[in-house]
Amino acid sequence: MIAYPTIAEAGRMLRAGAISSVDLTLHHLERIARLNDRIDAYLVVLEEPALAAAERADAAFRAGADHGPMHGIPYCLKDIFDVAGMVTTCHSRIVPEEPAATDAAVVVRLAAAGAILLGKTALHEFGTGGPTFDLPFPPARNPWNRNHHPGGSSSGSGAAVSAGLAMAGIGTDTLGSVRSPATACGLVGLKPTYDVVPRRGCFPLAFSLDHVGPLTRTVEDCALIMDVVAEPARGGGSYGAELGHGLKGLRIGTLASFHEAAGAIDPDIEAGFGNALAALRDVGAEVVAIDDLPPLAAFQTTALTIHRAEAYTIHQAWLAERPDDYCAISREKLRAGASLGASDFITAQQARGELIARYRRATTGVDAVIGLSSFALPCRIDDQAALGETYRRHMRTPFNVLGYPTLSMPVGLSSTGLPLAVQLSARPHGEPRLLRIADGLERALGRMNTPPGFAWEGARPMGLPDPAG
């Protein structure tokens, strides 16, 4: 019996007539009603619009129309994207209480594909800050342990998908904000190549670092949703065109110097990384060390300068007129850009070009690279000192500077029952190859298809036949 279906599994059953989109949507709405107040993933639930969209999806199937892999599939959306007729809160009291006039580009694409929007999810204020209790909305919590941080800033989308309150989520990633909740919540989170998924209708944080990407339970699901929300894959075909092709003969580089720069790494995380490398070798990939990488600190310094300058430009007027309406963490982070001048920004952009060129040379000859995502396990959500370290001790930032497609994926659980993850990255527009490698690793390690324990307390399976059995 399936109680935690993937997009691919549900899609097969929808097309076989074993379930309806209304069934699937009601199942998720019931779970939201029962569990959301324990993890605060959703800010608003769109029950009636979701059911109406599900009825339209079912009617289209009955009429012989099939709009693709997301047809009839319920998903959630970070509340930083516009939905016509709704206020885009950005999890803040700052934004004007005026509804959006049009849908964000990614919402338009998902609607045209027959997907079902269940609601809008929590985030760190404006995609920055952190989990905080001095805003009108509570912070999302980690479904694996609700006292712990779910990662951010796309925290609500990660929590919802992990807990089975949506089948996929859409988030944004400026310094790691899709891959961070994917890492903390045991999901696949993809930051595509810069601008491969359009950003129109998404409130910006830092124009040249912002990416839009999906959070899913499996690599296959990630490829399916990319076929809907992204520009066509380079060379045509599906983003999942290489799935199942195996890894024999592929060369994967390790980012050892980034790890060495991290200092202490949680031993469970190190063990998970070692298991991932062994699994890659077992299925025929060649794992090689990458030499002459730019320093991790250089990427971090460059990214922070660009981020602070661009974010301050966006928020300058509000910071002057309404500083106390921001939460304390956001106010502090956004004000950091006030001390930067044009020369600082230009110097950082020049450094960015040099880092990209050096990284490209260092990674010539490999199909992808593998490294850690976080250096520490998710901390308690109320531990401000540990949260500060969380946003410093990771290696997601380089890939926003580079604009390269990068994916975080689960590789097991720690001794304390929290997800472990690794990060894979490929060259620009190399998403099909990146997803192939992630799929091969997922197959080798086994899919993490067990939901967080709390999320299944008292839950009922959907009563659906298992397509594999």
Q: Which residue reads 């949680």 in tokens?
A: 266
Q: In 10 A of CB 282, how many CB atoms?
A: 11
Distances (CA, A) of 292 to 155, 360, 383, 388: 34, 11, 36, 29
Strands 251-254 and 286-289: parallel
Distances (CA, A) of 134 to 138, 296, 316, 346: 8, 33, 21, 35
Question: Could you give the residue numbers annotated as active site?
Answer: 78, 153, 177
CA distance 417 to 448: 13
Q: How many residues does the chain have?
A: 469
Helix, coil or strand: residue 211: strand
The order of strands in the sheet holding 188-191 is 42-45, 116-121, 74-78, 169-173, 211-216, 188-191, 406-413, 419-425, 368-372, 251-254, 286-289
CA distance 289 to 363: 10
